Amino acid sequence: MPINERSVQPIRTQEDIVRVRQATRERAVAQGFSLVDQTKIVTAASELARNTLDYGGGGEVTIEVVYEGTRKGVRLVFVDQGPGIPDVELALKDGYTTGGGLGLGLSGARRLSSEFSIESKLGEGTRVAITRWR
């Protein structure tokens, strides 16, 4: 596996969200994702990076190329040490928001991903992992 197939990027500013989007697109293009699949994973990455910054107070994302048999994919793992999510199931419902947005961030990211997992502990932070397979 080439060394550039995994990177960790900080999410502390709006500019970092742009960098996360760019890095995600680069990995998806390198794996031969269609334009539709590129758009899906970049959109999910953008939503989760924004949540990490806005609700988690910042954090980081690990972006990596993954292989499973003959499949290739891109996995992103967002981690923050924010306040955590009091009710994960409620937060995953379309339209639920605590910030005045459309409430499609987590649920949208889940729909745009092949695999989605979330762990959150009050007072400790949140970890969201998504994978998009080609």
- Distance CA(11)–CA(62), nearest Å, equals 11
pTM (two decimals): 0.90
Task: List CB contacts of 128: < 8 A, sequence separation 6 or more.
Answer: 48, 51, 77, 78, 106, 109, 116, 117, 118
Nearest to 45 by CA among 14, 71, 15, 78: 78
Interval 105-125: pLDDT, tens: 798 899 999 999 999 999 999
Least confident segment among 2-6, 22-26, 33-37, 81-85: 2-6
SS3 75: strand
Query: Considering only the top CATH level, what class is 3-133?
Result: alpha beta
Interval 8-44: pLDDT, tens: 999 999 999 999 999 999 999 999 999 999 999 999 9
